[in-house]
A and B are shown apart, each in its own frame.
Chain A
Amino acid sequence: MSIDIDTARKVAHLARIAVPEAELPALAGELSGILSFMEQLNEVDVTGIEPMTSVTPMRLKRREDVVTDGGYQARILSNAPDAREGFFAVPKVVE
């Protein structure tokens, strides 16, 4: 499977990473190289094998569905690049 420039552009957009048009051919080449390395996996017979979901056969713990944490808005916002009036501020999303 080789990645063309259009696919590279699409993947970059899906990943929300701006890649200048001039760098797309090199990116497509690199991604193709890595994917061809992964092609080896097609040699393996995986018939009847379940995809691994958890490396240790352990049941996830359950707990009461209650609030156990919270109530520190200022601490949550303290690292925000732009926080105003108790909220995270971002460019206008809805016109």
Chain B
Amino acid sequence: MSALNELTISAARDALRAGELSAVELTEDCLAAIEGAGALNAFVHLTPDIARAQAAAADLRIKAGAAPSLCGIPLGIKDLFCTKGVPSQAASNILRGFRPEYESTVTQNLWDAGAVMLGKLNMDEFAMGSSNETACYGNAVNPWKVDGRQLTPGGSSGGSAAAVAADLCLAATGTDTGGSIRQPAAFTGIVGIKPTYGRVSRWGVVAFASSLDQAGPMTKSVRDAAIMLATMASHDPKDSTSADLAVPDFEAALTGDIRGKKIGIPREYRMDGMPAEIEALWAKGTAMLKDAGAEIVDISLPHTKYALPAYYVVAPAEASSNLARYDGVRYGHRAKLGAGDGITEMYERTRAEGFGKEVQRRVMIGTYVLSAGFYDAYYNRARKVRALIKRDFDLAFAAGIDAILTPATPSSAFGLGEMANADPVEMYLNDVFTVTVNLAGLPGIAVPVALDAKGLPMGLQLIGRPWAEGDLLNHAYVLERAAGFVSKPGKWW
């Protein structure tokens, strides 16, 4: 058997149940892989003691029989999730030293199922970024490398993507506000799903933009995504937007049969200046679904063009409100004050020292669009456009479309530092294919399909009907099997 950390969740589960390996062995292999992967800067807080204790307990539970699928499976957790007694600082200096007194609902669900926590993963500060370059921990690095350059693993869940792609853990949690699970998954050749808004509890997940944020799994296969999502999802009275719906058995939905399903190809996603390789990849994915017996339908989502500007009003507005809590009073950093400094100086200096540049920029944009005189012109207008974007999807689904196929990203992974002098808006364009899904509250999944001419992974995105993650995962499963993407990054770290 290859190194155990290279296993998928489903393979490890089957081997654990068959008694062919132990959770303790599996966990030790992951801890050793992490130890040797400092160059990737994916794990930023390690929890080996917790991991070993959880693994030993999982072995007992598996031996006793009827253990859940995730029992004994070692996972990495994005730093955005509050984990009791373990640093949880959203990659921000303003939360340096913060150790939550409570556990997020998602991570509690994972531990209740017997999963093993290896540690916390790097990310963009407060999940604001598309390249993992805004973290207080420094950049996470993509394990894929084709020349002398270090590449971004994408963002904001960059550490999660790098850790899964480099086999440091079997899977990881991510969160997605505008594409933060799907874009890094595409950049690293792994699978990432953002579920329907409300499927997964937001309780205990540091808030960025509450009407858009959803957590989801980042995994090595579609089957693993189905297994892990079923455990992450739950109805939670502590999150008023959590849906009071039963969580289906997503793995059972993977029949591999999509005959007669209608796949929408939205013409507005064919952007000006789209690289030929992305265009070809999209056509290839379309052909794969057609060969599997699906019907391909050209559709129109006319407000697509306005998704990005609407997102960059709504998300910063919500962020400016959510991040008002970082005031140096209840937790985290407080600036050193001079004689005569009052509470306003404390707030202003604490936030100037604690927040990085991109977070400051977004908080100020949000403050501006919510301020008196501009609320209607920007914020209310953006919310109206958001309603139109959702209506575009509603109409497509009402016309019988089962899933929509689009590119996941406008390019493959770019070099760290290459966007340093770019306009902020240029970086925002990374989310052009993914933000619509958050604005409409839909489930979306990125699936690796092929390598580009440089040898870097490229993914496609499938978008599903609300609450139909099982059907969406089944479409992704068909695409995954047809694509047969098995490439792994060569180990250089």
Contact = CB atoms under 8 A, between A and B. Distances in A.
Interface residues of A, number: 52
B303 interface: yes
A18 B348 contact: yes
Nearest to A79: B331
B240 A61 contact: yes
Contacts of B364: 8, 11-12, 15, 17, 27, 31
Contact of B342 (A37, A61, A92): A92
A41 B439 CA distance: 15
Interface of chain A, helix or strand or loop or mixed?
Answer: loop
Contacts of B2: none
Interface string A29-59: 0110111011111111010011111111010
A92 B340 CA distance: 9
B388 interface: yes
A70 B237 CA distance: 16
A60 interface: yes
Contacts, number: 171
B346 A34 contact: no
A91 interface: yes
A17 B197 contact: no
A16 interface: yes
Interface string B372-395: 000000101111111110100000
B313 interface: yes
Interface residues of B, number: 74
A81 B333 contact: yes
Contacts of A27: 361, 364
Contacts of A12: 364
Contacts of A63: 237
A8 B371 CA distance: 13
Contacts of B382: 38, 41
Given A46-B388, A80-B329, A91 B341 contact: yes
B228 to A, nearest CB: 22
Nearest to B363: A15
Contacts of B198: 56, 58
A33 B424 CA distance: 8
Given A14-B371, A15-B360, A55-B197, 11 more contacts: A15-B367, A19-B360, A31-B368, A35-B368, A40-B306, A55-B441, A75-B101, A79-B101, A82-B334, A90-B343, A91-B341
Interface of A: 3, 7-8, 11-19, 27, 30-31, 33-35, 37-44, 46, 49-56, 58, 60-61, 63, 72, 75-76, 78-82, 88, 90-93
9 contacts: A31-B361, A38-B369, A41-B378, A41-B381, A51-B380, A51-B386, A52-B384, A90-B346, A92-B343
